[in-house]
Structure formats: structure tokens, C-alpha cells
């Protein structure tokens, strides 16, 4: 989850100014409400597939399909904004040694000003990550822990260097665009928190999921939220927010107050490591969700076909990766964040409503973890998610509407007729 901070600080600050600090606080509070509902769901159905599996087992096929289709935006499409941020970090580093990409290949702008520009480095990064996941990587808690440690160490170094250089002048006015700007920023920087639910994707591999998954979710949010606020305050406190780039704001801030190349490289490597791990984990999570949906015959079995040599669903990984490559090269970073977030927020809202409904429809169901203060957290989480959706731009709603309609066409063309619930085919052994 921690890598989600790198693509969001600059984009969020451009909407809220220094008030982006509050945007991370508000996003964190919303995430806590959703996380408690997620944790209850995860403890009831401790198997892979995240919210899709929980909904399939408790709320029915149609709701499960809608969530699963939205999770493609959260997991698959979320590779694109992290790739865009990686591109920004790489370009900052290369610029230090005199290497600059042509203007048309530096960042995407959807034809603004009459000329189409593409984020070529982001596309290249996405292809490389797709190849890595397709040929197979050994998921190791030790490796993941080491990479998270790199991100934390680089973040602490950044805070230690930047905090003494914070100027009150850069924090005034704190909310130049008012609360409207802060709420719009909240809807955008929410991306930084959505990794918490990736914990639930690996529930089947947890020794004690009913205990470990809720603890993992809540600890991730608390630790991440504290770190996010510190990093954001230091970033907007040492440089005018208008001078921040969308994808590598921390490097912009660091360069304005420190000339030490070693410190610069430590922070740069932390950004690269954070974005890379988020991208890899997201693509892996997407492949697992596809696998579970195909196992339920909601998608064709070919979607989950395992490559005979790599022992991974290489075909679907490559298809997903190529689609995301186009998105990362063509759409600007803020648009990618918004598209990812709207699907995620819809799925999260359904989870909150679902947990509340199950308390009434199945009050005696086994719940190793019970979300406290329901219905408060469930209602607050659902309403907050819907409110944040209203803060996204109309163009994002249109893109999501098209995505939703395509999903329903796919469902009624295939899933409705072939699902295990409808055909009565028993699922394979877990």
C-alpha cells in the first residue's frame, strides 16, 4: 500500500494546495470505515478473490460480478498510474545526468493544445512489469518486507531532511481552492490507501485469516496514514505546490532544499521501489481475481489457463498488461488515478452495504471478526465512498459508465449462462 503515496502527492496538491494534507487524513478515515467492513467479510469467507469472493458467497452472483468487474479498475488499471509515476521518477533521474526524452514522449496529454503527447517511459515500464509477472516471480514475505523497508527508510530520510526546511509561507493559504478543492483531492489521493484490501486477496495463504487479515488491514492503514501525512506536509511545506510534478513531487521538493546526491538517490530509489511493488502486486492481484472468476465460470476457463512452462496465467496477464500499457501511455496521471478510484469506491461502497445487510439477513452466521459499532461504520463508509465519487470529474463518470455497461454485456453474454450457480457444476477443490 505504501507505494501509493508516490503518484498522488503532486496531483492531489494541484487540486487542494497545502490542504492536500487534510485530503490524506479524510481518505484515511474513509478507509478505516471500509477496512472494518472488509475485515468482517474476510473473516467470514477466508479464501482468495477479495471482495468478489465475499460477495459471491454471501450476496449473490450479480453483485459479485459488479464488484469483480470494478476490481479490474482497482487492480489491473491501477498499474497505469504507478507506471506513470515511475516514468516521472526515471525522467527526473535521467535529467540529472543530461538525458531528456523528446517533449512528445515525456507525458500524456490527450491531445491538449492540438498535439498528442505520450508517456513512452510509462508504457515501457508497464510492458516490463507484465513480462515479469507473466514469466513468474516467487512471492516471498521476506522480499516484500525488504522492499517495504526500503520505502520506509527512504521516506524517513526524506522527512528528516525536509522537515527542518518547512516554511510557513508555503503553507499559506492552506486551502487556496476551499473545501471543494480538498474534497476533490481526497477523491484523487484515495488511491494511496486502496492497497489495504490486497491483504484479503491472499486470505487462503494465511495461517489464521480470521485474526491475521483484520490485523494486517488495520495496521497497514494506521502506519500508512501517519507516514502519508508526514511526507505530504514536508513536500508542500518546502516548495510552492504549483511547482510540483504530478508523479515525482517528493524529488521536486528534495531538490529545492538539498544538493546531496546520496540523499537524492535514496529517495529516488524509494520511489522507484514503492511504485514497482505496487504495480507488481496489483497485477498479481488482478490475475488471481480473474482466476477465481473463471473458476466460478463467470469468465471463460481460458482466462485462467496456466502456461505449461511458466506455470502462471501468462495469456491473461499479457492481455491485461497490454491494455494497461495503452492506458499508461495515453492518459495523464490524474485521469488514471480518477478512473482507478471510481471503480474502487463503488466496490468499497457495495462491501459496506453488504456487511450491513448480512447482519440483518444472516445474524447467526459465523463471524470470527465482527466490525465494531455497526451500523455506524458501514453506513459512514458507504456514504463517504458515494460522496467521493461525486467529487470526481464528469468525464470520469462517463468512462466508468461505459466500463459498467461493457461489464454487464459480458456478464449477460457469458457469465449468466455458464456460472456454477446456474449450471450446478461443483467447484474444483481449493
The domain locations on the chain are 2-423
- Residue 239 is predicted with a pLDDT of 94
Would the pLDDT of 363 be above 60?
yes
- Taking the C-alpha atoms of residue 274 and residue 81, their distance in angstroms, rounded to an integer, is 12
Residue 366: which pLDDT band, with cuts at 50, 70 and 90?
A: confident
Q: How far apart are the first and last CA of the chain?
A: 27
What stretch of H or E contains 381? helix 376-390
- Residue 96 is predicted with a pLDDT of 82
pTM, two decimals, is 0.88
Residue 210: which pLDDT band, with cuts at 50, 70 and 90?
A: low
Min mean pLDDT across 97-101, 174-178, 238-242, 402-406 is at 97-101
Would the pLDDT of 318 be above 90?
no
Cell numbers placing 296: 466460478
Task: Render pLDDT for 22-79 as a digit per residue (tens, 0 to 9).
Answer: 999 999 999 989 988 887 877 776 655 567 877 777 778 888 899 889 888 888 888 9
Q: Which CATH number applies to 2-423?
A: 1.20.1740.10
Burial class of residue 182 in the structure, from the number of CB atoms within 10 Å of its CB (0-12 exposed, 13-18 middle, 19+ buried): buried
Residue 426: which pLDDT band, with cuts at 50, 70 and 90?
A: low
- Residue 428 is predicted with a pLDDT of 52
- Taking the C-alpha atoms of residue 128 and residue 120, their distance in angstroms, rounded to an integer, is 13
Q: Name every residue whose Cβ is closer than 8 Å to that of residue 49 and which is 6 or more positions away in sequence.
A: 56, 201, 288, 289, 292, 293
Residue 309: which pLDDT band, with cuts at 50, 70 and 90?
A: confident
Tell me what percent of the residues of the chain surpass a pLDDT of 90.
38
Asked if residues 135 and 315 have their Cβ atoms less than 8 Å apart, the reply is no
- Taking the C-alpha atoms of residue 349 and residue 395, their distance in angstroms, rounded to an integer, is 21
Would the pLDDT of 322 be above 50?
yes
Q: Name every residue whose Cβ is closer than 8 Å to that of residue 234 and which is 6 or more positions away in sequence.
A: 158, 159, 162, 163, 166, 253
* Of 298, 388, 301, 363, residue with least CA distance to 63: 298
Average pLDDT of the chain is: 85
Would the pLDDT of 430 be above 60?
no
Please state the rounded mean pLDDT for residues 249-278: 90
- Taking the C-alpha atoms of residue 224 and residue 204, their distance in angstroms, rounded to an integer, is 24
* Of 18, 26, 12, residue with least CA distance to 168: 18
* Other beta carbons less than 10 A from residue 424's beta carbon: 7
Distance of CA 119 to the CA centre of its chain: 20
Please state the rounded mean pLDDT for residues 393-410: 93
Would the pLDDT of 379 be above 90?
yes
* Other beta carbons less than 10 A from residue 93's beta carbon: 18
CA angle in degrees (0–180, nearest 5) for 324-276-326: 15
Burial class of residue 256 in the structure, from the number of CB atoms within 10 Å of its CB (0-12 exposed, 13-18 middle, 19+ buried): middle
Quick check: bond before 249 cis, omega within 30? no
- Taking the C-alpha atoms of residue 55 and residue 60, their distance in angstroms, rounded to an integer, is 6
Amino acid at each position: 500500500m505504501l507505494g501509493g503515496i508516490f503518484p498522488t502527492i503532486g496531483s492531489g496538491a494541484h487540486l487542494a494546495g497545502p490542504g492536500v494534507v487534510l485530503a490524506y487524513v479524510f481518505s484515511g478515515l474513509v478507509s478505516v470505515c471500509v477496512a472494518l467492513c472488509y475485515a468482517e467479510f474476510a473473516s467470514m469467507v477466508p479464501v482468495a478473490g477479495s471482495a468478489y469472493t465475499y460477495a459471491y458467497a454471501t450476496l449473490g452472483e450479480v453483485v459479485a460480478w459488479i464488484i469483480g468487474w470494478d476490481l479490474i479498475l482497482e487492480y489491473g488499471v491501477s498499474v497505469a498510474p504507478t507506471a506513470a509515476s515511475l516514468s516521472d521518477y526515471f525522467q527526473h533521474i535521467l535529467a540529472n545526468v543530461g538525458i531528456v526524452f523528446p517533449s512528445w514522449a515525456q507525458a500524456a496529454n490527450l491531445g491538449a493544445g492540438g498535439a498528442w503527447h505520450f508517456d513512452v517511459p510509462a508504457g515501457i515500464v508497464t510492458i516490463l512489469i507484465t513480462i515479469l509477472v507473466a514469466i513468474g516471480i516467487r512471492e516471498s514475505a521476506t522480499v516484500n518486507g525488504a522492499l517495504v523497508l526500503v520505502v520506509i527508510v527512504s521516506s524517513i530520510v526524506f522527512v528528516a531532511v525536509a522537515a527542518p526546511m518547512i516554511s510557513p509561507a508555503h503553507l499559506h493559504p492552506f486551502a487556496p481552492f476551499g473545501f471543494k478543492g480538498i474534497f476533490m483531492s481526497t477523491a484523487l489521493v484515495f488511491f494511496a490507501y486502496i492497497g489495504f484490501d490486497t491483504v484479503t486477496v491472499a486470505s487462503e495463504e494465511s495461517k489464521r485469516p480470521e485474526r491475521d487479515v483484520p490485523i494486517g488491514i488495520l495496521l497497514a492503514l494506521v502506519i500508512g496514514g501517519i507516514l502519508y501525512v508526514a511526507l505530504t506536509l514536508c513536500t508542500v511545506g518546502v516548495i510552492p505546490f504549483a511547482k510540483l510534478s504530478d508523479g515525482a513531487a517528493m524529488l521536486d521538493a528534495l531538490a529545492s532544499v538539498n544538493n546531496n546526491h546520496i540523499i537524492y538517490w535514496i529517495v529516488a530509489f524509494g520511489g522507484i521501489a514503492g511504485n514497482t511493488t505496487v504495480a507488481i502486486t496489483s497485477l498479481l492481484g488482478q490475475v488471481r481475481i480473474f482466476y477465481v472468476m473463471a473458476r466460478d465460470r463467470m469468465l471463460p476457463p481460458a482466462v485462467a489457463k496456466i502456461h505449461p512452462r511458466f506455470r502462471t496465467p501468462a495469456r491473461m496477464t499479457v492481455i491485461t498488461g497490454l491494455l494497461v500499457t495503452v492506458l499508461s501511455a495515453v492518459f495523464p496521471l490524474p485521469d488514471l488515478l480518477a478512473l482507478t478510484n471510481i471503480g474502487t469506491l463503488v466496490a468499497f461502497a457495495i462491501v459496506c452495504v453488504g456487511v450491513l445487510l448480512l447482519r440483518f439477513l444472516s445474524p447467526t452466521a459465523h463471524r470470527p471478526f465482527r466490525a465494531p459499532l455497526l451500523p455506524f461504520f458501514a453506513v459512514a463508509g458507504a456514504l463517504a465512498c458515494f460522496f467521493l465519487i461525486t467529487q470526481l470529474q464528469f468525464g470520469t463518470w462517463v468512462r466508468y459508465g461505459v466500463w459498467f455497461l461493457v461489464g454487464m454485456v459480458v456478464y449477460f453474454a457469458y457469465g449468466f449462462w455458464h456460472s456454477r450457480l446456474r449450471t450446478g457444476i461443483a467447484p474444483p477443490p481449493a
